[in-house]
Amino acid sequence: GAVVSQHPSWVICKSGTSVKIECRSLDFQATTMFWYRQFPKQSLMLMATSNEGSKATYEQGVEKDKFLINHASLTLSTLTVTSAHPEDSSFYICSAGTTGQGEKLFFGSGTQLSVL
């Protein structure tokens, strides 16, 4: 089956620094990728839709200048958490799939971000 690779698996950073998370589709081209965040014991919350070659679409309440998304190729999308603060500590997950009705969406293994 299709594989979505996410890197890094975990990252610890100091408050005020920026962190980049990569999401790759390994055996298919993804025109659309999604980014989620998940707090402990909560469900996944969709943050933004990443579209290849165009600007990402952010969900209501998600700061686009805080969470920069770049989808420069059909196999790679990146999420950069800028000027990270402790409240940004969370589990970030990306997803991608072949777009269409009845197609499948696959998820990366997630990135645990801890901001000190």
Partner 1 sequence: DAKTTQPPSMDCAEGRAANLPCNHSTISGNEYVYWYRQIHSQGPQYIIHGLKNNETNEMASLIITEDRKSSTLILPHATLRDTAVYYCIVTRNTGNQFYFGTGTSLTVIP
89 binds partner 1 (CB under 8 A): no
Q: Which of 7, 13, 22, 32 binds partner 1 (CB under 8 A)?
A: 32
* From 11-19, 62-70, 76-84, 108-116, span contacting partner 1 (CB under 8 A): 108-116
Q: Which of 11, 13, 45, 62 binds partner 1 (CB under 8 A)?
A: 45
What is the three-state SS of 20-73? EEEEEECCCCCCEEEEEEECCCCCCEEEEEEECCCCCEECCCCCCCCEEEEEEE
Bridge partners, residue 80, by sequence: 20, 68
Report how far residue 109's alpha carbon sits from residue 30's, in angstroms, rounded to the nearest whole number. Answer: 17
28 binds partner 1 (CB under 8 A): no
Least distance (Å) between residue 43 CB and partner 1:
5
